[in-house]
């Protein structure tokens, strides 16, 4: 039983359900943004529109690799935690946070490069590019906040095989952000 009288399993179920609902709502937000992008794109005879500066593909590829690596590291840490590897999880958490910060730094560099190349908000392509990537970056900041929220418990080795619901919820959000970025990357930089 927890302090409020409910079984601990019920609290975990409620937390999980809450996170699934939250991820679904964020998924709808990004789906709406991506649908707007697709609709604008199919209405144009040429995409990106003529006169649009090229996007820095190398930075986007590096950013994708960094975010994918952060998810791999977090998954590895979560598996280790499930087997009692509190130290391994703590190291994985620190690396995930560091990689998230690197992602934001590369994203900032990507925006600087696109702006320097002449892609602005008033341009239909630029407007959608910035709205999509800024919305994602804002969620990355929130994800970093959630990862940082885990640090005190990780440092004190509070989490373990029997106590990792928070870790699972934050991991679910972080992996969701990874999937969203990959879909955005393909839609904006590849297709």
Supply the pLDDT for residue 146.
96
Supply the pLDDT for residue 11.
66
Supply the pLDDT for residue 117.
92
CA dihedral 169, 170, 176, 182 (to 10 degrees): -150
DSSP state of 190: I
Which residues in the chain come in under a pLDDT of 50? 1-7
Q: Is residue 110 part of a domain?
A: yes
- The rounded distance, in Å, linking the Cα atoms of 71 and 52 is 33
Q: Is residue 135 part of a domain?
A: yes
Q: Which residues of 124-163 are buried (b: 16+ CB within 10 A; e: fewer)?
A: bbbebbbebbebbbebbeebbeebeebeebbeeeebeeee
How many domains, the chain?
Answer: 1
Supply the pLDDT for residue 162.
83
Supply the pLDDT for residue 3.
44
- With a pLDDT cut of 90, the percent of the chain lying above it is 74
Q: Is residue 1 part of a domain?
A: no
Query: CA angle 12-182-111, nearest 5°?
Result: 115
Supply the pLDDT for residue 129.
95
The boundaries of the domain holding residue 131 are: 8-190
Q: Is residue 152 part of a domain?
A: yes
Full DSSP string of 122-174: TSHHHHHHHHHHHHHHHHHHHHHHHHHHHHHHHHTT--BTTB-HHHHHHHHHH
pLDDT digits (tens, 9 = 90+) for 87-142: 999 999 999 999 999 999 999 999 999 999 999 988 889 999 999 999 999 999 99
Supply the pLDDT for residue 128.
94
Whether residue 85 contacts residue 143, with contact meaning beta carbons closer than 8 Å, is answered with no
CATH number at residue 22: 1.20.120.80
Supply the pLDDT for residue 2.
45
Q: Is residue 2 part of a domain?
A: no
Supply the pLDDT for residue 123.
83
- Long-range contacts of range 161-167, CB-CB < 8 Å, 24 or more positions apart? 161/81, 161/82, 161/83, 161/84, 164/78, 164/81, 164/82, 165/11, 165/12, 165/15, 165/16, 166/15, 167/78, 167/81, 167/89
Q: Is residue 3 part of a domain?
A: no
Supply the pLDDT for residue 7.
43
- The rounded distance, in Å, linking the Cα atoms of 172 and 179 is 11
Supply the pLDDT for residue 95.
98
Q: Is residue 13 part of a domain?
A: yes
Q: Is residue 30 part of a domain?
A: yes
For residue 54, CA distances in Å to 121, 122, 186 come to: 15, 16, 15
CA dihedral 185, 56, 67, 38 (to 10 degrees): -20
């Amino acid at each position: 039983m927890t302090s409020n009288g409910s079984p601990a399993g019920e609290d975990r179920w409620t937390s999980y359900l809450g996170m699934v609902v939250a991820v679904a709502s964020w998924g709808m937000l990004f789906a709406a943004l991506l649908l707007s992008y697709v609709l604008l794109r199919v209405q144009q005879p040429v995409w990106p529109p003529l006169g649009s500066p090229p996007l820095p593909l190398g930075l986007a590829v590096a950013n994708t690799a960094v975010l994918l690596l952060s998810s791999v590291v977090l998954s590895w840490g979560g598996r280790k935690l499930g087997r009692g590897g509190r130290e391994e999880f703590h190291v994985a958490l620190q690396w995930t946070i560091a990689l998230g910060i690197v992602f934001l730094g590369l994203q900032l560099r990507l925006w600087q490069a696109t702006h320097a190349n002449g892609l602005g908000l008033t341009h239909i392509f630029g407007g959608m590019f910035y709205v999509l990537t800024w919305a994602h970056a804002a969620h990355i900041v929130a994800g970093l906040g959630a990862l940082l929220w885990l640090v005190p418990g990780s440092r004190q080795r509070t989490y373990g095989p029997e106590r990792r619901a928070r870790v699972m919820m934050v991991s679910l959000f972080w992996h969701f952000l990874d999937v969203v970025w990959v879909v955005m990357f393909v839609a904006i930089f590849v297709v």
